[in-house]
Each structure stands twice: as structure tokens, then as C-alpha cells.
Amino acid sequence: MAWDAARLRDDFPALAREVRPGVPLVYLDSAATALIARPVLEAMADFETRHRANIHRGVHTLAEEATALYEQARADIAALIHAPDPREIIFTRNATEAINLVARTWGQANLKAGDTVLLTEMEHHANLVPWQMLAQEKGIHLEFIPVTGEYLLDLDAMQRLLETTRPKLVGVMQVSNVLGTVNPVREIIAAARAVGAVTLVDGAQAVPHMAVDVQAIGADFYAFSGHKMFGPTGIGVLWGRAQLLEAMPPFLGGGDMIRSVSLRSFKTNDIPYKFEAGTPAIAQAIGLGAAARYLQEIGMENVEAHSRALVDETINRLAAVPQVRLFGPGTGRQLASVSFTIDGLHPHDISQVLDTRGAAVRAGHHCAMPLHTRFGLPASTRASFSLYNQREEIDVLIQGILLAIDLFL
Amino acid sequence: MDDLYRQMIVERHKHPLHRGELPHVDFEFEDENPFCGDHLHVMVQVDENNIITDAKFDGSGCAISTASADILMEYVIGKPLDVVKGMDKEELLDLMGIEFGPVRLKCALLSLKVLKGAVYGLEEGE
Ligand SMILES: Cc1ncc(COP(=O)(O)O)c(C=O)c1O
């Protein structure tokens, strides 16, 4: 499909609104939550109005239609990330729940006191806290791949850590939600597997912005969220290798995750149902399937090229503002997010001034407190870009920042 | 802009009157708003009748939390500790004269939270 910016923007109903009279929305916070695409809304409305029924439970027409739509969504999502088998797609509430699922099931069953889990200093809290909780319970060790002064993972240090700590699991984000750094996950996973580690990739910031091929990456688990990829809230995905998933204990207990139940015991269902206890977020899953098809249609290469162009231009223009300190590895090395600080100017104030111009950015630690601590920053401001953003919006961002500097410094 | 950043807030943020150290501290407390990374330290000095003779703050925060701290320090100097203990958030918000959304409200009220921590003699981190 040819890149048609105007048509693309039209696919996102929220872009039609004004933040206040005469001030159009400049949405630069897609890394937190992306806007929802019209085909997603339509798919959900179609389910709710015509096919709404529970899945896997009835033999009437609506139940069969609902089940077919839900399973089609699973297949479409598998196709987007090149999963070999739709049974490997487990619907969760979000990326956070997907990672917790791995910690609670695979981690519970396979980690014991003294084992090491290797993460990175740039992880989102979603890929830190579940392991910290497990560490407290089971006495496992946590180690961290350091982030260099250039905002990249230190791969030499990683190699040493792999050899000295022999981790049972390595967890890494593919794209940083703060720095925008695109980590060489394929290389990291290969190194981790060479020492026998199971690997988990947090793909929350990758799936919306670049082609993802879980088989090429070579990981064992891959987690992401629907709401960051133009889908609804309340739905996320854990992809895992079928063999591993089959060997794992179930997550939550209840309907759908069982094959048979007696008063005192149960037999678990096959994957993926084993991990989907209770009535799932059916409409949301169907919506996410539509989002996956939408992205496939546009082409992830196009999406990535567009995002990179906007990011690079933003970095260059921010670099020309003397008060701005960029927090990321720089042009050509960042995807989606551009974070920065300004001495003496709190991110909240920058964000508030930008809001008066209609621009939505994120201010704070972006659920990556350890990363901010590593660089001695209490907080930063982040502008994040997506397929519906356009160059004129960078003008609004830069003007707003200059205004904030003028006002407060 | 006018709504939120009345000139006073910006002025207070740029040139706070009560930021700094106290030579003698009777009560102090520090706390942070982890959501935004604001960190505030409040110091209070009282006389033998428990009247606040001086109060200062330091730390790092956004314009609203800084201005709020500065306004609050000014307000409590000369008041009895008991009055400060009884202060409620509406009083501070009235002093600032601005309406805040739910997120910025936390910034505006951090100073009162920390001051109360000080005058109630809470241990840091409690
Ligand atoms: C890299 C990364 N991982 C995990 C998450 C968690 O996503 P969610 O809050 O949807 O579970 C986010 C988003 O906040 C993220 O950016």
C-alpha cells in the first residue's frame, strides 16, 4: 500500500477532535497508549452488535460465530509476529500480565533458590517487578545488563554476566519506551541460549513500530500490549514456544482452562486455552485481530520508516535547542520515542505548556525509574511518534518547548 | 496559560522567597511524589510557645510544587503549630487561587503533606 498520510489520519477518529476550541490534538504519547484505529472499532462493534456470545461454550449460531472471530483474531496476530502456530498466542490483559504469567508459571516451576534471572537496566517496571516478586519468594538472584553512557546495552558486560552468572532466564525489551533504543535482541537471545537460558522479550514498543518475527528473534517468550498497537485496552498477548507452554503449569484456574473437573481435581486443557481461564476479553481480542490486519495492510516497513523519519527530525531539531539534553542514543538508533530534559525546567511544566498548544507528551519516569536513576534524572519528558503523526506536529512540539523555556527559565 | 500559570506561580518558581536552609531546625521532613520525581524537604523552627518563627524548603520539583511550597512557608510563619496541624488542603488551594486537575493536584499538595509530616514529627519515609 502506498503511504497516504491523510487517509491514515482519517483512520483515527480521535485526531478529529480539538483539545479545546481552536486547538487541534497533537498526539505525541503513543508509547503510553496509541490512538485506536477505526477498523478496530468497527470490528468490535460488529461483534458486540451481531455476534456477541460466549466462546467455546455453545453450539448455537452466535456462539459459533463468536468463537470463529476470536480464533481468527488469534491467527491474525500470529501472522503479524510470524508465530508458527496460533496455539502459541495467549491472550492476556496486557504486556504486564503476559510477563507475570511467565514469572508465575514458568518461573514458579523452573526457578529455585540461587538461580539467576538476567534483565537489563533499561527495563520497564513490567519486566522488573514480577521478577523481583519471585526473587523475594524464592530467593533467586537478579542481575542486570548495564546501559552504556551512549544509552545502549553493554553487550560485553552482558557476555561476562552470561558466563559468570549462568542465568536460567534472560529478559530484555526490544525497544526502550524511554530511550527509543532498539536492542539487538537476536544477538542477545543467541548469546543467552548459548548458556542455556530461556529468553523473554518485552515487545510492547516494538510490535507497533517495526516488523517482528519471533522465530527470527529466536526467543522463547514474547510479550506485548494491544493498546499500544492501535487496538483496545484490556487485551495483550503472550507468545511462547508450544513445547514450553505445554510443559508449564496453568496460570489462573476456572472455566475454559480445564479439560475435565471433578470435585477435588482437574485436568488442564490444551494450549492456549490452558492459560485463558474464564470468559476472555472477546471483543478486545477481535479488535486486536483487526489491528494486526490493519498493520499488515499498511506494511510494517512503511510504519517503521515513517516513525524513524519523524524521530530523527525531532532529535535534530531538539539538538539545536541549547537548553535541551537528549536522553537517547541519537538519530538512526531510536524508534518511536524521543526523551529529553531541560535543566531547571520540570517535565510536568513542559508537558503542561505543551498541552496548551494541544500537544500530548509524557512527563515523568515512564515506568522506568531504575533507568532514570542510572542517569541521575528524577524524570524526563517524552514525545513519541506513530504512523498517524506528521512533520507539522514536530513544529508544535518545538515551539511549545521554546515557549516553556521562555516562560520558566 | 493564564489558567494555570498565573504570573505568581511562575514568579514564585523562578524566585522563591523561602527556599534554602534554616540555621536551626526544630522539625523537618522529606518526601517525594514518585509519579513525577518531585522531592521536597521542609524545615521548621518554633519558639518556646510553639509559634513558627521560620520555615524553609528545598528539593526539586515542578513550578506548581515549588510555588505551593513557597506560598505555604510564607503562610505558616508566625502561626502556632496547632493551627498548621489543623490546616486542610482547601486552605492551601485557596491561597494558590488556582484549580488543579487530579494529576497536578498532587504537585500542589505535596508541600502540605511534607509540612504536616514535619510538624507531626513523623520519621522520614514513614
Ligand atoms: C516496554 C514496555 N513494556 C511493558 C509495558 C507495559 O504495558 P502495559 O501497561 O500495557 O501492560 C510498556 C508500557 O507501558 C512498555 O512500554
- Give the burial class of B125: count Cβ atoms within 10 A of its Cβ; 0-12 exposed, 13-18 middle, 19 or more buried: exposed
CB of A284 sitting under 6 A from ligand 1: no
Give the distance, in angstroms, between the CA of residue A155 and the centroid of all CA atoms in the same chain.
Answer: 23
All domains of chain A, ordered by start, with CATH? 5-30+300-408 (3.90.1150.10), 41-297 (3.40.640.10)
DSSP class of residue A221 equals E
- Give the burial class of A203: count Cβ atoms within 10 A of its Cβ; 0-12 exposed, 13-18 middle, 19 or more buried: buried
Pairwise CB contact (< 8 Å): A408 & B38: no
Complex ipTM: 0.79
Of these residues, A31, A367, A371, A397, which one is catalytic?
A367
**Residue type, position A158, single letter:** M
pLDDT of residue B119: 87
Q: Which CATH class is domain B2-119?
A: alpha beta
Element spanning A399, H or E:
helix A391-408
Strand partners, A351: none
Pairwise CB contact (< 8 Å): B36 & A364: yes
pLDDT of residue B125: 41
The most distant pair of C-alpha atoms in chain A lies apart, rounded to whole Å, by: 70
- Give the burial class of A297: count Cβ atoms within 10 A of its Cβ; 0-12 exposed, 13-18 middle, 19 or more buried: exposed
- Give the burial class of A369: count Cβ atoms within 10 A of its Cβ; 0-12 exposed, 13-18 middle, 19 or more buried: middle
pLDDT of residue A5: 80
Tens of pLDDT, residues A296-317: 999 999 999 999 999 999 999 9
| Nearest alpha carbon, ligand 1 atom 7 | A95
Whole-number Å distance, alpha carbon A97 to ligand 1 midpoint, is: 10
pLDDT of residue B103: 80
Rounded (5°) CA angle B74-B47-B109: 35
| Cα A406 from Cα A100, distance rounded (Å) | 45
The answer to whether the predicted template modeling score (pTM) of the entire model surpasses 0.80 is yes
- Are the beta carbons of A287 and A232 closer than 8 angstroms? yes
CB of A382 sitting under 6 A from ligand 1: no
Pairwise CB contact (< 8 Å): B34 & A407: no
Q: At what angle do helices A391-408 and A347-356 cross, to 10 degrees?
A: 120
- Are the beta carbons of A287 and A40 closer than 8 angstroms? yes
From first to last of its 409 residues, chain A has per-residue pLDDT tens of: 567 888 899 999 999 999 999 999 999 999 999 999 999 999 999 999 999 999 988 889 999 999 999 999 999 999 999 999 999 999 999 999 999 999 999 999 999 999 999 999 999 999 999 999 999 999 999 999 999 999 999 999 999 999 999 999 999 999 999 999 999 999 999 999 999 999 999 999 999 999 999 999 999 999 999 999 999 999 999 999 999 999 999 999 998 899 999 999 999 999 999 999 999 999 999 999 999 999 999 999 999 999 999 999 999 999 999 999 999 999 999 999 999 999 989 999 999 999 999 999 999 999 999 999 999 998 999 999 999 999 999 999 999 999 999 988 8
CB of A207 sitting under 6 A from ligand 1: no
Block mean pLDDT (10 aa), chain B, length 126: 66 92 93 82 94 94 92 96 92 88 87 92 52
Whole-number Å distance, alpha carbon A223 to ligand 1 midpoint, is: 9
Nearest CA in chain B to A350: B62
Domain boundaries defined on chain B: 2-119
Q: Which three cell numbers stand for residue A212?
A: 517482528
pLDDT of residue B126: 39
Residues in B touching A347 (Cβ below 8 Å): 36-37, 62
A232 preceded by a cis bond (ω within 30 of 0): no
**Residue type, position A61, single letter:** T
Annotated catalytic residue A367: yes
Q: In Å, how far is B72's CA from the nearest CA of chain A? A: 20
